[in-house]
């Protein structure tokens, strides 16, 4: 037993050291006030509570007037109302506070300028926080799993979840996002729940309530694991009823609301300061706008941050759920239900791909629960008599680890947004080529843009009035007489260069007036046009308020200069009101047939 505990301790010790080294490597070139540092955009929005509390006392006029702009717009400063406005709750800041105070103490002792919470010392301490909560979360998950599986299986599962999922990215590269903290809280919740069910000690129930309350504060949808309180290891309907009766005792049912209120009280006070009301929906125009039409297929499979497209380990987790049903394991219905529920929640959110993300980041905290079916799958295979099955699983897991680490380091370390459309598999494959996961043999054959990915959207404000698919289309009017749809350098294409570009795009006109609008393609060298082709859209409208496909073909000139820029755009000199959606481009590399 002591020998087992020793190698478990060494495992987490070495994992901690490796994570520190990797975190330092990923952040060694970070500078203040750019999109590579730890305190930028959403991360700054989570963090701002700390400097606002300890340095500025929530007085916006004491802050540098452009601090919100220099930190990427994660929060805003309202100098007229003297408010510091962030849409995020203070949950992440609460968990970062020990590291923030440590950074402040280091600044005082060493005499370094603390720069009101935005110096490099604070940035480095925030990166350390992600590593610490990562290792603590993995250790708690291991302690939870060994209640059901051998220690070796548990350690193997923990290592796979660390290295073969986007948890790696959101702890060591983007550790200021909320997910590694929710992951830790979920692991603490499960660990405490398991120990409470065994010992019935009240201290473990307090940890259950505390971890769940802070998780809900960070993200209200984190209330879903609360179902485990009543159903985890309940065994039967009678077991569930006993669990309900147990929690109906005053010492239990009064504890959680009390802890939840104390945890939320500072947030309520902040909302009162910000809006004048104790309850405030800070996400404004965001919400569950896809509730009637959840984007389930996109969330699970889309090349735009789809769960299984970027974390194929989840396929093994789902296979583990099936094994749990086949073998009639406890908690099978609960695990399957939670997976379906979190999928529905993500698919119903307005921005279902969650912006500039590496995969479906909202599933990261749920890897703690999905670790159970993964462990059942691995146990089943390792207990198999067939060596070939074990070998296949081992090499599959090795490849998943390799591809995740290579993709993370090779691409998302340098480019944190995905600039592909919802179902653009051609761009998806090229992204793996650029990251070095697969060999670079893929020619550019297609380009698609359904204008759902706002990082790829050619206009600042896409339209939601008329859409052919999804939520957005591209409006053209007097304010946007030239709207760029596609742009690329010839050197992005492999030799031989394409000869023809076939373009399909859907167009809608509220009336019959199109004017001189045209689909145009020009070729530019050193900012000087060398070739221009303009296809009028006059005959494209068949009826008002109906989507019509516009199909045009452009010849790509035979040039030897790979620096030439190809631009495809809507030329609308009269300012006619038009809407465009679902752009599709096909490149032909010979004159006879499409590739």
Residue 571 falls inside a structural domain: yes
Both tokens assigned to 32? 């203040």
Q: How far is the C-alpha of 420 from the C-alpha of 417, rounded, in Å? A: 9
Share of the chain above pLDDT 90, in %: 56
- The pTM (predicted TM-score) of the whole model is 0.93
User: What is the pLDDT confidence band of residue 512, given thresholds at 50, 70 and 90?
Assistant: low
Q: How high does pLDDT run on average in the chain? A: 89
Residue 529 falls inside a structural domain: yes
What b-and-e string marks burial along 92-105, b requiring 16 or more CB atoms within 10 Å of the CB?
A: bbbbbbebbeebbe
- Find which of 138-147, 244-253, 430-439, 545-554 is predicted with most confidence, using mean pLDDT: 138-147
Both tokens assigned to 443? 């020619």
Residue 23 falls inside a structural domain: no
User: What is the pLDDT confidence band of residue 539, given thresholds at 50, 70 and 90?
Assistant: low
- Find which of 2-11, 24-33, 330-339, 411-420 is predicted with most confidence, using mean pLDDT: 330-339
In a 3-state reduction of DSSP, which class is residue 532? strand
Of the two residues 133 and 238, the one the predictor is more confident about is 133
Tell me the pLDDT tens digit for each residue of 367-399: 999 999 999 999 999 888 888 888 999 999 999
Tell which phi-psi region holds residue 106, choosing left (phi > 0), alpha (psi between -120 and 50) or beta. Answer: alpha
Return the number of other C-beta atoms located less than 10 Å from residue 106's C-beta.
16
pLDDT of res. 283: 84
pLDDT of res. 192: 96
Residue 466 sits in a domain of what CATH number?
A: 2.60.120.260
Q: What is the dihedral of CA 79, 84, 85, 91, to 10 degrees?
A: 180
Partnered with residue 488 across adjacent β-strands are: 566
Q: What are the strands, taking DSSP E only, across 480-562?
A: 482-489, 500-508, 518-525, 528-536, 548-555
- Residue 319 half-sphere exposure, CB side, CA atoms within 13 Å? 14
Of the listed ranges 48-62, 236-250, 581-595, the one predicted with least confidence: 581-595
DSSP notation for 163-212: HSSTTTHHHHTSTTSSHHHHHHHHHHHHHHHHHHHHH--HHHHHHHHHHH
Both tokens assigned to 247? 């929690």
Single out the residue of 287, 10, 321 nearest to residue 139, CA to CA.
10
Residue 142 falls inside a structural domain: no
User: What is the pLDDT confidence band of residue 4, given thresholds at 50, 70 and 90?
Assistant: low
User: Phi, psi at residue 565, to the nearest 5°?
Assistant: -100, 130
Tell me the pLDDT tens digit for each residue of 23-51: 998 888 777 777 667 788 889 999 999 99
**Tokens 């035979």, residue located:** 558
Average pLDDT over residues 154-160: 96
pLDDT of res. 6: 77
Average pLDDT over residues 3-30: 87
DSSP notation for 213-240: HHHHHH-GGGGGGGGHHHHTT--SHHHH
Q: Is pLDDT at 352 greater than 90 in this prediction?
A: yes
Of the two residues 44 and 460, the one the predictor is more confident about is 44
Domain around 477: 443-588
Residue 71 falls inside a structural domain: no
Average pLDDT over residues 499-504: 92
CB–CB of 579/508 below 8 Å? yes
Both tokens assigned to 578? 């038009």
pLDDT of res. 194: 95
Residue 463 falls inside a structural domain: yes
Whole-Å CA distances, 343 to 70, 299, 308? 35, 7, 12
The H-or-E segment that residue 579 falls in is strand 578-588
pLDDT of res. 68: 85
Q: Is pLDDT at 526 greater than 70 in this prediction?
A: yes
DSSP classification of residue 463 = B
Partnered with residue 85 across adjacent β-strands are: 76
User: Domain total for the chain?
Assistant: 1
pLDDT of res. 449: 92
Residue 275 falls inside a structural domain: no
Tell me the pLDDT tens digit for each residue of 51-71: 999 999 999 988 888 888 888
Of the two residues 17 and 247, the one the predictor is more confident about is 17
Q: How far is the C-alpha of 63 from the C-alpha of 52, rounded, in Å? A: 9
Q: How far is the C-alpha of 91 from the C-alpha of 354, rounded, in Å? A: 19
In a 3-state reduction of DSSP, which class is residue 570? strand
Q: What are the strands, taking DSSP E only, across 34-89?
A: 76-78, 83-85
Q: Is pLDDT at 594 greater than 80 in this prediction?
A: no
Residue 196 falls inside a structural domain: no
Single out the residue of 271, 296, 293 nearest to residue 281, CA to CA.
271
In a 3-state reduction of DSSP, which class is residue 278? coil
pLDDT of res. 444: 85
Average pLDDT over residues 93-99: 96
CA angle at 222 for the pair 291 and 195, rounded to the nearest 5°? 145
């Amino acid at each position: 037993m002591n020998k087992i505990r020793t190698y478990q301790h060494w495992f987490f010790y070495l994992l901690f050291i490796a994570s520190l080294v990797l975190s330092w490597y990923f952040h060694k070139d970070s500078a203040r006030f750019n999109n590579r540092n730890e305190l930028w955009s959403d991360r700054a929005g989570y963090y701002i509570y700390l400097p606002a509390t300890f340095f500025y006392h929530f007085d916006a006029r004491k802050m540098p007037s452009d601090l919100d702009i220099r930190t990427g717009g994660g929060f805003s400063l309202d100098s007229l109302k003297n408010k510091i406005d962030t849409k995020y709750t203070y949950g992440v800041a609460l968990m970062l506070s020990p590291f923030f105070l440590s950074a402040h103490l280091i600044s005082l002792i060493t005499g370094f300028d603390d720069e009101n919470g935005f110096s490099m010392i604070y940035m480095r301490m925030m990166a350390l926080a992600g590593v610490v909560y990562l290792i603590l979360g993995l250790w708690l998950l291991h302690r939870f799993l060994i209640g059901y599986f051998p220690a070796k299986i548990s350690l193997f599962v923990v290592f796979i979840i660390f290295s073969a999922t986007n948890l790696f990215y959101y702890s060591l590269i983007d550790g200021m996002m909320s997910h590694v903290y929710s992951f830790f809280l979920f692991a603490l919740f499960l660990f405490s729940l398991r120990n409470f069910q065994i010992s019935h000690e009240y201290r473990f129930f307090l940890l259950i309530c505390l971890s769940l309350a802070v998780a809900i504060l960070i993200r209200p949808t984190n209330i879903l694991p609360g179902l485990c309180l009543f159903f985890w290891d309940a065994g039967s309907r009678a077991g569930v009823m006993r669990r309900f009766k147990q929690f109906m005792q005053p010492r239990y049912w009064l504890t959680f609301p009390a802890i939840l209120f104390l945890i939320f009280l500072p947030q309520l006070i902040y909302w009162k300061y910000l809006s004048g009301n104790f309850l405030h929906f800070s996400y404004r125009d965001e919400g569950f706008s896809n509730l009637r039409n959840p984007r389930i297929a996109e969330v699970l499979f889309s090349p735009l941050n789809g769960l299984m497209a970027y974390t194929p380990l989840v396929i093994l987790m789902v296979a583990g759920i099936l094994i749990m049903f086949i073998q009639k394991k406890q908690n099978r219905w609960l695990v399957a239900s939670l997976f379906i529920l979190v999928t529905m929640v993500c698919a119903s959110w307005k921005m279902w791909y969650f912006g500039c993300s590496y995969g479906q980041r909202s599933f990261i905290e749920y890897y703690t629960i999905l670790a159970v079916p993964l462990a059942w799958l691995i146990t089943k295979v390792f207990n198999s008599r067939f060596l070939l099955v074990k070998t296949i699983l081992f090499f599959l897991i090795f490849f998943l680890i390799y591809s995740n680490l290579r993709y993370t380091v090779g691409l998302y370390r340098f480019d944190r947004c995905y600039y592909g459309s919802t179902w653009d598999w051609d761009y998806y494959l090229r992204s793996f080529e650029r990251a070095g996961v697969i060999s670079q043999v893929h020619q550019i054959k297609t380009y698609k843009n359904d204008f759902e990915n706002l990082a790829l959207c050619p206009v600042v404000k896409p339209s939601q009035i008329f859409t052919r698919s999804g939520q957005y289309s591209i409006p053209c009017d007097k304010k946007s007489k030239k709207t760029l749809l596609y742009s690329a350098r010839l050197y992005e294409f492999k030799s031989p260069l394409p000869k023809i570009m076939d373009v399909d795009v859907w167009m809608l006109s509220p009336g019959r007036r199109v004017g001189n609008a045209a689909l145009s393609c020009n070729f530019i060298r050193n900012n000087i046009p060398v070739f221009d082709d303009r296809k009028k859209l006059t005959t494209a409208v068949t009826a008002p308020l109906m989507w019509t496909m516009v199909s045009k073909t452009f010849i790509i000139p035979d040039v030897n200069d790979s620096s030439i820029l190809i631009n495809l755009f809507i030329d609308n000199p009269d300012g006619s009101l038009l809407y465009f959606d679902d752009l599709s481009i096909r490149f032909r590399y010979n004159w006879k047939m499409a590739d």
